[in-house]
A and B are shown apart, each in its own frame.
Chain A
Amino acid sequence: MSSNGARATQRDRPWIMRTYAGHSTAKASNELYRTNLAKGQTGLSVAFDLPTQTGYDPDHVLSQGEVGKVGVPVSHIGDMRGLFDQLPLDQMNTSMTINATAPWLLALYIAVAEDQGVDRKLLQGTTQNDLIKEYLSRGTYIFPPAASLKLTADVVAYTVNEVPKWNPVNVCSYHLQEAGATPVQELAYALATAIGLLDTVRAGGQVSEDQMPQVVGRISFFVNAGIRFVEEMCKMRAFTELWDRITHERYGVENPKFRRFRYGVQVNSLGLTEQQPENNIIRIVLEMLAVTLSKDARARAVQLPAWNEALGLPRPWDQQWSLRAQQILAYETDLLTYADIFNGSDVVTDRVRKMVEEASQEIEDIQARGSVVEAIESGYLKQRLVESNAERLRAIERGEQVVVGVNKYLEGADSPLMTDRDSAIMTVGSGVEQEAIAAIKTWREQRDGAAVEKALAELREAVKRGGNVMPPSIAAAKAGVTTGEWAQALREVLGEYRAPTGVAGARVSEGEGDSQKTVEGLRARMDVLEKKLGRRPKMLVGKPGLDGHSNGAEQIALKARDVGFEVVYEGIRVTPEQLVASALEEGVHVIGISILSGSHLELVPQVVERAREAGIASVPIVVGGIIPVSDARRLENSGVARVYTPKDFELNTIMGDLVELVQSSAEA
């Protein structure tokens, strides 16, 4: 029997299986991690909450509504200790999705390891630490691009000697795809980022030239896998080929081991649907194939989203279902018994060759602009992504890209998984934020204030001098400094940054057919409305809170411009107070708010209330985000005119609503 034969064959070691997890408190997250490991998960993937990611303590004004929402709050060494309670760090492989504050969270991790008596040289894991994609897509940057690259380079230089098994940077093409990147753009922008980073490390002089191969060997990648899984698989082979070439030609790395394209994956969340959400588990499995089928380009670590992510936060069972999908592929099927099954395929070879060529050209274009930093500061990359994303959404809206259950095959029986929509997702306890605020106050009172001041002064001094940020950060971690204090010290020295939004200059091709007719119809209605109002209808679009996923807000802003609104794009990370001040000063006719982090119930009513106080209660407010049905009803009751969720993919319909809202408020 072949099963005996298969058993006799040498099986490859499976990839590391993780689940992106963390919420509420360090204690609750620690329990979750221990349960997940018991279920057969082989690595940890820590999700931090947005205040931790953007360097604020829970009691900062911008943290309102965000504490413990999309991840775990880690404000100091005490939290980090709690997070890894009973988890020996020399035995863990921990991936941390952390960027602007990556040096700090790594410092806390190292400090806790030392607490546990673990040698830092044994630590294994990854800090995401790729700021370039933060400017382009994810929005949790703090400092200007050059300063950010320097901090990233510090972590690289420090870990290569001190924590040699650590992956200091996960260069992310993942979020580029979420921002709309085509496969070629994903390849090019991610590799240009890696080049920018390695050039910075080499020029910084912290690492000797003969250590560069090791440095190159520690750079890993974090990739997205979409539903077009054949093309995605080819993309991974193209990555492998290009990286091998770049590391050899540009950095002179001779040892093939250091030229390997090492990557982890989170398969695509963007394509998951709110309609017929049970279909998502099938999408997730197919997407996983893209990064596992080809042995030569196989992921080293995989984490899968949950089927219900478009509805809200997944429950433990939802995450378990995704883990089981990984385990079945790795342990039940015969996949891991074969050599690469695509070698020798003309189709694959040809597709990969084309991608490699096009991506090489795009990388050259970016290099011709100076470097990836210039391409960020000038807004070039962001604008290209905004344009690609507009194309993608347009294709779905026109039905050119089939999405089952969304724009095709809509009829179906009701899903038994969805009988009670509100219990089909997880909710975070409401007391979490208040508890965190009380806890950090106690923490500050109980620590040695003088030691904290001294550590912060030394940190500032080191950064000002251009020294490596890691040693003073580890000292600060041990002294009891908080996340907000660490980030504030660096803000004072490095400054804060507001990245180009890419929307103002984005060119979007005119549509055609029905969609274009709808747009023309809307424009005509806008012209009538303009006559009625005396001036162009004006809209404010902004994202309150700390959530930096601006792709949706950008597309709304672009579309609103296309139908004829004057759009004031306020960007990310604004307070309700700022939004309302802008709405007043700009004299807008409608306010559009986008929140994906789940903090809508805290933030949106504040906007409504402040608008009333400012005397602009008549300006309608619309909200978009991942908003459960019952929350949507509450928002509407509190005075919000419309709530949109991922199922509302037809931007033209939303635009029609906006025109109508402005019209009726003008008539009121």
Chain B
Amino acid sequence: MTTTEKPDTLLRILDYSSRADPYPLYAELRETPVARQADGSYVVSTYREIAELLHNPHLSSDVRNLSRPMEAVQGRTTPSFINLDPPEHDRLRRMAMRHFGPPHTPGLVTGMEDDLTAVVNGLIDGFAGKEQIDIVDDFAYPFPVTVICHLLGVPREDEPRFHLWVDAIVNSIDYNPETDPKEKLENGVQAREDLRQYLAGLLEQRHGKPGEDLLSRLANDDGPDGRMTDEEILATANLLLIAGHETTVNLITNGMLTLLRQPQMLQRLRSEPGLVVPLVEELLRYEPPVHIIPWRAAYTDITVADTVIPKGSKIMLMLASGSRDPNRFHDPDVFDPDRRDNEHLGFGSGIHLCFGGPLARLETQIALTALVQRLEEPTLVTDPPPYRPSPVLRGPIHLHIEQNKN
């Protein structure tokens, strides 16, 4: 059944004032699993319906299949695979995965463990002598950025340049023509172009020079699918740089925030290091870094939960709401690392399942383990902390903590 009883629930979720705790609003949203919005789009907020749609071949990630154009994502030269359907999606993702994971590059992520630990410990060494530590600026942001730069082959010292572009791009993801200044969109478009140009410069140096980094490997690939065009490489690198930048930071910060709010859990992790594996999974369910898939397109009429979503409709998938659905998870609002059967939506599902998930997992496991081992009785300075603007990639913009000074 489609109802539009509470058309404002979504707007309240998107509003910045609910950023610190959107979960009660998600519960309200779930009263109507598939809710038609005033603009004709659909919001899906329950676990089974989201999971069903993520495996439904009649759903498209290609913006051209939306009946109403979307300014925030249109006008790009070459889309990355996150915004493509099979067979193009499959081809590009496969070509990128050749250099990142099994079966062709099986040991890459696990082989990074020592390096990741070294980076993490270096950052924690830097806390020495500080009155207050900002878990975001001093740790959770620089760590994954260092890692993704190394992986891609992007000079770490250029970070101040592309940081601004990435910020502008992320801020434009949820651009709403009715409420947002046009500037927000234009900044995003300009930032995309600047970042593309920057990456194009790096790519040019890689042709004919085989190396270990992803850009070099993509530029010189001779796999069964041939080589990506330069435009495809740029789109892929762009995607991985942004995703590698803006997601793990939230996962690590949300993790630390959750542990600081439950000191007995922090203590437990300290004494049971093996707990970190299920704990990070529970974190992906309970406080995920990506809350929303902002849009998918109905390629044909799609029936879900007895609602017919007409062809061409925009569909918004509320992943973080699905992972708190009481019809799927027992006591969903309890953070319980001992939870079994924890098939959360933290990395999405289906063919677009998070490409970097294995790396994000390892990064967060190493980061939280080191933080709880090395911080002395850490406490939160402000709760809730201030949040980033985005309701999609949701997380604190700063997380100030203090340590026991003894």
A binds B: no
Interface residues of B (CB under 8 A from A): none
